Amino acid sequence: MRRVLVTGGAGFIGSALVRELLLDPETHVIDVDKLTYAASLESLAELDGEPRHLLERADICDAAAIAHILETHRPDAIVHLAAESHVDRSIDGPGDFVRTNVVGTFTLLAEALRYYRAGDDALRARFRFHHVSTDEVFGSLGDEGRFHETTAYDPRSPYSATKASSDHLVRAWHHTYGLPVVLTNCSNNYGPRQFPEKLIPLVIIKALLGESLPVYGKGTNVRDWLHVEDHARALAVVLARGTPGRSYNIGGDAERQNLDVVHAICDALDGLVAPLPQGPRRQLVTYVTDRPGHDHRYAMDATRIRDELGWTPRETFDTGLRKTVEWYLSHRGWWQRIRAGAYQGERLGLTGASRAP
């Protein structure tokens, strides 16, 4: 039996990983989540009654709580996904990002090291601390090239700066203290159950409702899109077979300009639901003031994880996007509850003036 502790397991990527890990009947998952606005217990509803899944509500900044969870459940590995993740929110409130992404990662590392050192030889031989990060730590690309694992860090937003800080802490705990770590840096995720502040679910919902579709700047910023279930498979592979001290880029090999993504969503909806009275949904596009410091392009070279660990994405952008649109259409209650409470689709991160941390 293998016990894996997943931080942020009620979130978008975290819940996908929990479901992926539990496909193995010999794996038990301890899900540690603070249950902030972006978490959803509905994302884990299919696991109700599953004895191999246990949810612990805790803040990763709470050292005593983390120490208690580690001692109680004795995990063989930690996969660290808990993070504040929306760039626009980091512009409005960077203090929350520093606390969770930097202080929280430090706290988790300190308690993980204490737990690892106190373990027996068998635990220390199998233990891994898997830190999940982002391509945004590498900065912005021009029209050519891709990010490699050796690309120098150049974060541009409060969000990416805090994730870069956490990456450096994880590497330091490996080199200084001998904690067996692996790191992954992924491209933009999309898929079912994503909180609708992010581009793809936001546009799906707004386009379905006939609302204006805000496109930042000219819509020419480029992202490499990765389906969340492909990402979850990659994380499971790295956890199982990744080399301690090594990092792995995870990308979907699906670069698209933001405007092209919006148009693809509009076209998919026009083919799946009744047309709007005003005509094709592409007409809903409205160009708005760009995000402060908006990175031009991200693209990932995922050669290492392909060649060393045998992972490749199963979904193309076209197949993954259609499945995603269909999920939001068939799960209207899920996002309608969010729209009625935590988030109504408003613009975030425009003022550039941060509130107090």
DSSP 318: H
In the chain, what are the domains?
2-191+227-253+294-315 (3.40.50.720)
**Residue 77 carries which side chain, given as an amino acid letter?**
A
Residue 37's nearest CA partner among 175, 198, 188, 258 is: 198
Give the model's pLDDT for residue 351: 58
Q: Which residues share a beta bridge with 57? A: 33
DSSP string, 322-346: HHHHHHHHHTHHHHHHHHTTT--S-
Give the model's pLDDT for residue 357: 39
Give the model's pLDDT for residue 342: 86
Residue 348's nearest CA partner among 55, 85, 87 is: 87
DSSP string, 124-157: HHH-EEEEEEEGGGG----SS--B-TTPPP---S
Please identify every residue annotated as catalytic: 135-136, 159
DSSP 297: B
The H-or-E segment that residue 269 falls in is helix 258-272
Residue 191's nearest CA partner among 157, 227, 159 is: 227
The first and second tokens of residue 340, run together, are 């009625």
pTM: 0.96
> Residue written as tokens 């509500």?
57
Give the model's pLDDT for residue 173: 98
Give the model's pLDDT for residue 45: 92
Give the model's pLDDT for residue 352: 47
Cα 54 from chain centroid (whole Å): 21
- How many other C-beta atoms lie within 10 A of the C-beta of residue 262? 26
Strands of the chain, DSSP E: 2-7, 27-33, 53-57, 77-80, 128-134, 181-186, 188-190, 213-216, 222-227, 247-250, 255-257, 285-288
Give the model's pLDDT for residue 354: 40
Per-residue pLDDT of the chain (357 residues; tens, 9 = 90+): 999 999 999 999 999 999 999 999 999 999 999 999 999 999 999 999 999 999 999 999 999 999 999 999 999 999 999 999 999 999 999 999 999 999 999 999 999 999 999 999 999 999 999 999 999 999 999 999 999 999 999 999 999 999 999 999 999 999 999 999 999 999 999 999 999 999 999 999 999 999 999 999 999 999 999 999 999 999 999 999 999 999 999 999 999 999 999 999 999 999 999 999 989 999 999 999 999 999 999 999 999 999 999 999 999 999 999 999 999 999 999 999 999 998 999 998 875 444 433
CA distance 89 to 276: 32
**Residue 237 carries which side chain, given as an amino acid letter?**
V
